[in-house]
A and B are shown apart, each in its own frame.
Chain A
Amino acid sequence: AQSVTQLDSHVSVSEGTPVLLRCNYSSSYSPSLFWYVQHPNKGLQLLLKYTSAATLVKGINGFEAEFKKSETSFHLTKPSAHMSDAAEYFCVVDPGTYKYIFGTGTRLKVLA
């Protein structure tokens, strides 16, 4: 069965420090993996996606994620957090069915 686990429901960082949001997946097939961000009462915005090309994927707003097949992980990172990064982040897997499987989300808080 396919699944996505976001290991932290809440992450707090100080502005200017690195961000690490963790995601592990389980998939029987070669999946496509995505990170989306949701600001309060808004829809989801695509940050980046992995589709079996380069394992290090660069996204918008300075975010990047590395696909590690041996660890079944797809962690999201950013070198320096901004206040505007405070939001809910979802790790998503598409196991090849075009039906997204969502993680439970990680709420990122950025402290001034």
Chain B
Amino acid sequence: GAVVSQHPSRVICKSGTSVKIECRSLDFQATTMFWYRQFPKKSLMLMATSNEGSKATYEQGVEKDKFLINHASLTLSTLTVTSAHPEDSSFYICSAGKGLAGGTDTQYFGPGTRLTVL
């Protein structure tokens, strides 16, 4: 149980275009979903936290107009990278949990999406 999927696993796009990444919890309802960015050989950096039906909470330094997050249902969250540039190329990983922000619970991670912006 507690499986999280991401789609696509890999995407290549041209500079200036937008890319949408989906994160789904397959066998549980995810009250909270998280989006992380991982640079090569580096740890994960939390970008934002979202609760179903609420606006996402972005971490300091993350541009909310560039990284649009929607958590429309208890099983789906999307990250849209708008007007992508080469510096947005990275490995994006989502996670999902049954707890609420301010509490504590296990996060279950998706397999990640490799974004390359040409």
CA distance A66 to B51 in the complex (A): 32
Nearest to B91 among chain A residues (CB) is A41
Number of chain B residues close to chain A: CB under 8 A: 28
| Residue A102 lies at the interface, judged by CB distance under 8 Å to chain B | yes
* Residues of A contacting B110 in the complex (Cβ-Cβ under 8 angstroms): 43
CA distance A56 to B108 in the complex (A): 22
Nearest to B57 among chain A residues (CB) is A99
Is A36's CB under 8 angstroms from B109's CB? yes
* Residues of B contacting A42 in the complex (Cβ-Cβ under 8 angstroms): 111-112
* Residues of B contacting A32 in the complex (Cβ-Cβ under 8 angstroms): 104
Is A41's CB under 8 angstroms from B114's CB? yes
* Residues of B contacting A94 in the complex (Cβ-Cβ under 8 angstroms): 104
| Residue A80 lies at the interface, judged by CB distance under 8 Å to chain B | no
Is B46's CB under 8 angstroms from A99's CB? yes
Nearest to A30 among chain B residues (CB) is B104
* Residues of A that sit less than 8 Å from B by CB: 32, 34, 36, 41-46, 49, 51, 90, 94, 96-100, 102-105
Known: A90-B43, A104-B42, A105-B43. 5 other contacts (CB 8 A): A34-B106, A42-B111, A51-B104, A90-B44, A97-B104
